[in-house]
Structures are given as structure tokens and as C-alpha cells.
Amino acid sequence: MGAGFINVGFGTIVATRRMLAIVSPDSEPLRRLIAAARQEGRLIDATHGRRTKALLIFDNGHLMTAALHPETLLLRLGGGKAVAKDPEE
């Protein structure tokens, strides 16, 4: 992802070098992962009461919920188009 920072909404800034993945939290296994992280104190809620649309996974085991779509966060990272292209195309 590179060194730098990304605004994940509502003034919350995250170091991109610590991020491993940005995923949609719609599946039940990810919801269980969020619940376990909340119980263990590893969850950072950056939704400000809004619906969770993205889950950021960090290299230290922490999770962050965000109210922005993963595609929006990809654009903010400078990923160009919201849909990743195959490098062989």
C-alpha cells in the first residue's frame, strides 16, 4: 500500500503502511471476527454511528470499521479506478 495516510471518514486518519486489507464486512465470518475483536478490545469503530461498509485489517491484529465503501477507500489510496485490473490485460 505504500507509506502515507488515508482519511477513512469523519476526520479519522490511518497509516496505510499498517493496513493488510480493506474488505466488505457483509459475510458472517467477518461479522464474527468483528464481534471477537470488540470483545477483546482490538476494534476501532470509525463509523460515528453510521452503517459499517468497510472493515480495515491491520498487521497488529486490530480491526477498524468505517462508514465508507471499500472502493471509495481504494480511490483515496490512489488506486486509480475502483476496480482492480489484472496486470496481464
Using alpha carbons only, how large is the chain's radius of gyration in Å?
A: 13
C-alpha cell read off for 81: 479506478
What predicted TM-score, i.e. pTM, was given to this entire model? 0.83
pLDDT at residue 2 greater than cutoff 60: no
Predicted confidence (pLDDT) per residue in 28-39, tens digit: 999 999 999 999
Q: Distance (Å, rounded) from C-alpha 26 to C-alpha 71? A: 14
pLDDT at residue 73 greater than cutoff 80: yes
DSSP H/E element including 48: none
What 3-state class would DSSP assign to 5?
Answer: strand
